[in-house]
Structure 1
Amino acid sequence: MEDARKAQVPIKGRGAASKVAGRFGNTRAVGTDDGWGSVYEDLAETPRLQTVVTEERARSVITRNDSPDIGFSQSVNPYRGCEHGCVYCFARPSHAYLDLSPGLDFESRLFAKTNAAERLRVELARPGYRPSPIALGINTDAYQPIERRYEVTREVLQVLADCRHPVSFVTKSAMIERDLELLAGMAAKGLVTVYFSITTLDNRLASRMEPRASAPHAKLRAMRSLADAGVPVGVMVAPVVPMITDNEMEAILEASREHGARAAGYVLLRLPHELKQVWREWLELHYPDRAAHVMSLLRQMRGGKDYDSNFGSRMRGEGPFADLIGQRFRKAHRRLGFGRLPALDCSRFAPPRVPSPQGELF
Structure 2
Amino acid sequence: MKTRATPLNPQNRFQPIVTDRQYDDGWYQDPADDTCPDSLATEVVDEQVRTIISRNQSPDVPFDQSINPYRGCEHACIYCFARPTHAYWDMSPGLDFETRLIAKPNAAEQLRRELDKPGYRVSPIALGVNTDAYQPVEKHREITRNILKVLAEYRHPVSIITKGALILRDLDLLSELAGQGLCSVRVSLTTLDNTLKRQMEPRTAAPATRLKIIRELAAAGVPTGIILGPVIPFINDHEIESILEAAAEAGAERASWIMLRLPLELDELFQDWLQRHFPERASHVMNRIRDLRGGKSYDSRFGRRMTGTGPYADLVRQRFAKRARQLGLNLHEAEPLRVDRFRRPAGEQIGLF
Confirm or deny a common fold (TM above 0.5): yes
Residue in 2 aligned with 1:317? 308
Q: CA deviation at 1:124?
A: 0.3
Residues 139 and 19 of structure 1: is their aligned pair in 2 closer, same or farther, counting only changes over 3 Å? same
Which secondary structure state, in structure 2, belongs to the residue aligned with residue 110 of structure 1?
strand
Q: How far apart are 1:40 and its partner, in Å?
A: 7.2
1: CA distance between counterparts of 2:8 and 2:85?
Answer: 17
Equivalent residue letter for 1:268: M
Match in the other structure for 2:260: 269
Aligned to 1:291: 282
CA distance in 1, matches of 2:31, 2:230: 31
Give the partner amino acid of 1:353.
Answer: A
Q: How far, CA to CA, are the matches of 1:312 and 1:40 in structure 2?
A: 48
Pick one of 62, 65, 85 that aligns with 2:76.
85
Any stretches of 5+ residues in structure 1 without a counterpart?
1-10
- Structure 1: how far apart are the matches of 2:147 and 2:285? 40
1:351 equivalent among 332, 344, 352 = 344
SS in structure 2 opposite 1:353?
helix
User: Which sections of structure 2, spanning at least 5 residues, go unmatched?
Assistant: none
Distance 1:72 1:44 in 2: 50
Q: CA deviation at 1:41?
A: 7.3
Deviations 1:50-82 (A, max 9, x none): 100001100100000000110000001000000
Q: Which residue of 2 aligns with 1:168?
A: 159
**1:39, distance to aligned residue in structure 2 (A):** 7.5
**Range with greater deviation from structure 2 (94-103 or 14-23):** 14-23
SS in 2 for 1:170: strand
- Separation in 2 of the partners of 1:295 and 1:259? 33
Partner residue, 1:7: none
Residue 7 of structure 2: aligned partner: 17
Counterpart pick for 1:205 among 149, 174, 196: 196
CA contact (8 A) 2:76 2:203 kept: yes
Distance in 2 between the 1:262 and 1:361 partners? 42
1:28 to partner: Cα distance: 2.4
Match of 1:335 in 2: 326
**Aligned Cα RMSD in Å?**
1.9
Mapped to 1, the partners of 2:346 and 2:233 lie a distance apart of 50
TM-score with structure 2 setting the length: 0.94
- TM-score, normalisation: structure 1: 0.92
The CA deviation string for residues 84-117 of structure 1, in whole angstroms up to 9 with x for no partner, is 0000000000000011000000010001100000
| Secondary structure of 2:346's aligned partner | coil
Letter in 2 for 1:344: L
Residue of 38, 51, 61 corresponding to 2:27: 38
**1:22–1:100 Cα contact (<8 Å) kept:** yes
Query: Matches of residues 1-362 of structure 1 in structure 2 within 5 Å?
Result: 11-31=1-21, 32-34=23-25, 37-38=26-27, 46-47=36-37, 48-339=39-330, 340=333, 342-353=335-346
Count of aligned pairs between the two proteins? 346
Q: Look up the equivalent residue of 2:173 and give its one-letter code.
A: L
Which amino acid letter does the alignment assign opposite residue 61 of structure 1?
Answer: I
Partner residue in 2 for 1:3: none
* Aligned-pair identity (%): 54
